[in-house]
Structure 1
Amino acid sequence: MVLDKIECGKFTVDKFFDVRYGSEKYFEYIGKEAYRALPKLLYNDDIERFLTFFETVGEHWRGITVKLKRADDVYRDAYIRAKKKASLVGGEQLWDMEAYDVETLTENFRHDKDELGKYRTLLGLEGRTYFCYEHDSENISVYKPVNGRERVLSSMKLGEWRADVCANHIDKADEDIFSRMCDDIERGASEFSVELSCDMYAPEGEIKPCSISASTINKDGIPMLTVGIVSRIEALGEAVQTENKDAVTDSLTRLYNKKYIQTRAKEIIEKKNEHAALFIMDIDNFKEVNDNFGHMYGDEVLARVAGVLLDVLADNGIAGRIGGDEFMGIIYNVKDKEMVRHILRSIRSSVEYLYSDTKGMNITCSIGAARCPEDGTSYDKLFNCADKCLYIAKDKGKNRYIIYQEDLHGVIRNENRVSTEIEHITGGALENISGVVKRSIELLYIQGRAAIPEVLKIMCEVGRFDRACVYYGSDFKCIYSHGLSGCDTAFWAESEPYIEHFNGNGLHSAGNLFKVENTDKRIFEQFREQNTGCFIQAILGDKDNICGYTSFECCSGSRRFTEALQNAIDYVSKLIYEVLKRN
């Protein structure tokens, strides 16, 4: 990439001008000195002027032109704009900054205007309604060719247009799709398409199925213009197009779905034998987002995080959604580990940017990655290596990425044997349980006893339990626990009437304590003493040879536990027992 032809990048600094986060383009443009304090990257004559400018920066964008040192030690005229973050981040004030190459922008300004005129003329010749969004003015205009001439149907700010279309021109069921499309327009997504029912200002005012396809014209990485074409969908064409789309994409995020991303990953790694990297990403503490803000807001977070993956990977890779808040990606044509590091760093920092100005929101991600062929030449091996690194990233405090390195992270056991034996333990149902539970099971198998505390924590988060305990041995003592403190021993272990409540799989689910009260008053009172309201328990071993129990408990109210959650606890408990037997 020629440095003259790229955006300088986006970054965030603290009061000492140290760079806290930066886009991949920023690190490419500045090079090895990217983490130096910003004034040290400026030409000497510009430093004092920049410091004076910085003192005046508030919560609205302000800009200054200075000479900025790039990776080849050449000072280049750059336009830097800055604004103070509206809220503190981790208790301190930070500033967002963006830098653009002034010389390149000047050279291309007239060219952009000429190209825009030609583009709009071609769209008019097609005879279809289209829109143009200018990123510098934030204005969107909708045009419709009428009798060979261009008719302006509307021209307003994007926010006003969003509100107008939702209120007057769209099927209410498609408002979420349209809002996400507006988000894509605003951030300058490289290419996107949606299907919805609208009239898009048609004279007859009749709402019909439409396809909207759009792309963004960039200059040096800066979104300049987003142009979209609106097309009617015939009934048959709509059905075929939707069917094909649904076959490979996730409806919420518009990334590839689990089946397709796995297929493509295997093809790239095993058939094409490319130099590539596989990464797995989780949104940190995503359950708290759903609990505190609701699932609709959680869906918005997932869609925006998916947008980050699309933007950062661009032509360098593909990504898919493989679970609730879990994503997997493949990076193409990996030259070296530093390239992978650049991309993962950009993903991590961009996700952290998303809601940095939203009070009460702290969205971050953890990523694990492995490279082909350095770490393996099969999909299963790379997935297991990346998966292990993901859990290490979470264990080290989250909001980070880790790239697999055998001498640091250990040898990954034979992936086919792991999968086969886990499938046997779960009765062949591994593909039917959630990704996070599946990975918990795999983690137990690979790491053994050391993984039990982390798995109890994960199951408490997944099942919204307040306490989890593992009781084991002849005296049924608690040997592992997570959450609120409980009893030192399984006090129900000697009660035969109570044990009868465990089903043939060794599982006992109580949505409230009434059943326990009718069975054994003493056990009921002991549950009440430790504030247990409902629980799921599993026998370690079988009913004829009980070696221990797992107990997952909620400390207030009653619940109706889903079959999926009960099955997940059954699988996890079985593997905990296998692990305890081995060691």
Structure 2
Amino acid sequence: MSNEQLSVLEKKIERYGTILETTGDIIFDYHIDEDRMLFDEARLEKGQYVHYTLAVDRYTEALHLGNLVHPDDIEETIRLINGLTVQAIVIRVTRPDETDGRYHWTLVRAATVQNSEGRVTETVGIMRDIDDQKRREDRLVEESRCDQLTGLYDQKWTRIKIGEALEANNEMDKGILMLIDIDGFRAVNENLGHIFGDAVLVETAEKLTAHAAPGDVIGRIGGDEFLVYSPGVAENQIAGRVARIRRIFDHTFEGKSQAYRISCSLGVAACPKDGTTFETLFHCADQALSMAKMEGRDRWCRYDEKMSGMSYLNGHATNIDTAIFQKSGISAENRVLINIFEILADSKDFTSSMLLILGMIGRFIGVERVCIFEQEQEGKELVNQYSWYSGTAVRPKTERVGEEAHAYYKTFFDENGLYALGSVDNFPARERAFFRERGICSGLYKTLVENGRFLGCIGLSGSRNNRVWSESEKEFVSLVAKIISVNLYKAKLQTENAYESQVARAIVDSQSIKSHVIDPKTHELLFVSASLKAERPNARVGSL
């Protein structure tokens, strides 16, 4: 090399060195045969760059014994500096000028140097601190995995994170999976408003997070459904852990006319006793939750083999094992029917009770949507008056079935007013597209009739295609339809009678008629016209 060429090379090296100084990157030079690492970092001090160098002998040993590189990144680092892997990696390293031992995400680029024999003897490269950028990216990724309302993991990432936690466990590590559904949330949401309902969910999520133990994975997997995995919980600790969770959900909210209480039903499956994979544990917890719901809500159930076949979120009534009710002698279907009777008997709010009942039916049968279409007082159109949707269901854009469509669909019902739709693929293209847009692939529908009066229709529909509806499912839905028909008819009569009474009172009052109505048996005053009440202020309904 001539003196001129050497001078040009020296200037280039000086120029590249100046450029590297301004980047803040650390230059390294690893000598493979000597196992010796040299670091060179330029720092700007008082207007000029000062070079700090560090030499580490027996570098491979230092990697294993010290905390220079994160333990998970050591093997990849050794491969890089020995020229055995790609030319750029991202690892976590500590900084020699920091004493807290914090790892920084670092981009490492390397190139190999060969001797005259073509053997790699040296690796040189740069290390760039990308910690802020990497943590920013990780935060954005984490946010994309979370439910936007509560900040908890969404359904997909709850499953992934719990799966990862289970895989990281040893075979005999203990833990529990808790599937939680809020009782009474729909009444709060409908009566106090959706904004208030959202606030309840956010507050609940915050409390779950605040009470979480190290290693807990918490997710919101549906509208008012949560999933919690707690590692390290032994069998004798389950009741205490569940009790703390249930206290989070126990709250009463005051409305204008009444108070609304929420609680929770909870199903528990234990690892490794009930399973060691997410799928197995979730299936068991789902069945335990179903049992808790059927036993009356506001309680928890521990999974038992006798629950096999039950499902709260995805199960089907045809697989219910009747042995679970052996103690009480009541079948699963009858237990649900009894709960429906109890709800209707105890509730003073027909709308809230219907919403609760539809949800119970949908979860029991294993569908995503249950609706009651009620015939309007005048005309032949049907209006969706009451509906329940699971977290995966697609809410329809329309809530009304026109007269022409009603007449068309009526032809599908049999002589008992029942229509079992196994697959929408049997429909013409237009109707098939209509149903699929709403997430409906199959359904079971029953007319609502009482005292010869057509009231409407109850429909159970789901995303499961080619579903074969069993006779027991058809019988169950028919019994439910009968119960709903009776109560719907009664509610209609009460509404109509109240309206007629209001009209009659308005007519009497408008004519200034002084009239009253007395019960012939009790002699109680049942009605007092406005004109008579003005003349006799002490005349009140209910007085003798």
TM-score normalised by length of structure 2: 0.40
Q: Determine which structure has more spread, i.e. the larger CA radius of gyration.
A: 2
Structure number with greater CO (CA < 8 Å, separation at least 6) is 1
User: Given the two structures, how large is their TM-score scaled by the length of structure 1?
Assistant: 0.37
